Amino acid sequence: MNNPPSAVSLELRGVGRRFRTEAGELTVLDGADLVLRAGEIVALVAPSGTGKSTLLHLAGLLERPDTGEVFIAGQAAGTLGDDARTAIRRATIGFVYQFHHLLPEFSAVENIALPQMAAGIGQGEAETRARDLMARFGLAGREGHRPGKLSGGEQQRVAIARALANRPRVLLADEPTGNLDVGTSEVVFAELLQQVREQGVAALIATHNPALAARMDRTVTLAGGRVVTNPG
């Protein structure tokens, strides 16, 4: 386990999210609270349809809550304009999805360098950082390969490296190994945990796999639109 948690990197305070449907208004989140501290890795384990993706989207500033507030490193983000939210997202938050979403026309190292360059880092420095991350994930020698020439596990490693490239304070992952076979999933997940712990990132990782969840610091679930500690 990590040392005692320190600064709060992410806080959701009383967030609510509703959607309009043909059947009427659907409340997905209703007064949800969550605190993630630097260096803490939290598993989000909840049935499909309970709002996991919505929670991650709100935490990552991809959506705005209807009620409540999202704080990133102590800064309230709800009232900020789109440009300011985008800047915070680029500088502070990393995302990993079940499907890697790599750009097929670019090499592995370019896929990892591009988000850094979008954040204002020079190409040389960005590619150096990308190569270092690839080496850490056991991908040395694969830098020039495009995604189509990489295995599924290698592609997901590249996606994780891309999410960590800007040294985010917060990592949000939605079933990051759910599209991989069991053996590859174990290896990739172990590498993900190692790199997140080494960098002191606050991570919220949604997974259906109880064995993976057990390797994290604590587990939460969703019930009645709120975040609760998983009794399991």
What pLDDT, on the 0 to 100 scale, is given for residue 69? 93
Q: Has residue 222 got a pLDDT over 80?
A: yes
pLDDT > 90? residue 109: yes
How many C-beta neighbours within 10 Å does residue 172 have? 26
d(CA 144, CA 146): 7
Can you give the pLDDT at residue 8? 85
What's the pLDDT at 71?
Answer: 92
Mean pLDDT of 116-125: 87
What's this model's pTM, rounded to 2 decimal places? 0.86
pLDDT digits (tens, 9 = 90+) for 48-72: 778 888 899 999 998 899 899 999 9
Q: Write the pLDDT tens digit of every residue in 153-184.
A: 888 889 988 998 888 999 999 888 777 778 77
In SS3 terms, 18-75 reads as: EEEECCEEEEEEEEEEEEEECCCEEEECCCCCCCHHHHHHHHCCCCCCCEEEEEECCE
Give the model's pLDDT for residue 6.
Answer: 67
Q: What's the mean pLDDT in 196-209? A: 88
Buried b (16+ CB within 10 A) or exposed e, 83-122: eebeebbbebbbbbbbebebeeeebbbbbbbbbbeeeebe
